[in-house]
A = this chain, B = another copy of it.
């Protein structure tokens, strides 16, 4: 079940991670391979779900999303967190991440809104609807120094 990736695959992933819109021809040139061979590998990486998708990083401020916050959500169910709660949280568009975490708190979510009043409004209107939420603890981000979902590609 474990996917095996050789050095060529890792080279492809490294370059595509840094620039998802690199042309197949450029990629082939950098790897000294035929475009058809590289394309074949990329398609397989997509099929094997090693590549999960291609996304464009948008400057949040340019679309009026200036507030970033992390919220710890404690469930009244204790350690047996229902996945329906997680699904309900994930369904909120402003919620970018939902993590089930170890410890007394149950979930950690990452949320982005235009401003703090919008966040509060959202918490009142949306989070209140979700059952089994006992308490929340919000951490406001003042400044983001680094933010990349850039993974460390292992070297062979």
One of B18, B54, B58 near A21 (C-beta < 8 A) = B54
* Contact (A17, B58) CB under 8 Å given A145-B86, A152-B65: yes
In the complex, which range does the number of interface residues on chain A fall in? Answer: 35 or more
Q: Provide the residues of chain B in CB contact with A20, threshold 8 Å.
A: 20-21, 54-56
Q: Provide the residues of chain B in CB contact with A145, threshold 8 Å.
A: 83, 86-87, 89-90, 98-100, 107
With most chain B CB atoms within 10 A of its CB, the pick from A3, A49, A89, A96 is A96
How many monomers of this chain does the complex have? 2
In the assembled complex, the Cα of A62 lies from the Cα of B2 at a distance in Å of 7
Q: Which of A31-56 contact B (CB under 8 A)?
A: 48-56
* CB-based contact B90/A146 at 8 Å: yes
Shortest Cβ gap from A84 to chain B (Å): 11
User: C-beta contact mask, A45-75 vs B, less than 8 Å → 1, else 0?
Assistant: 0001111111111111011110010100000
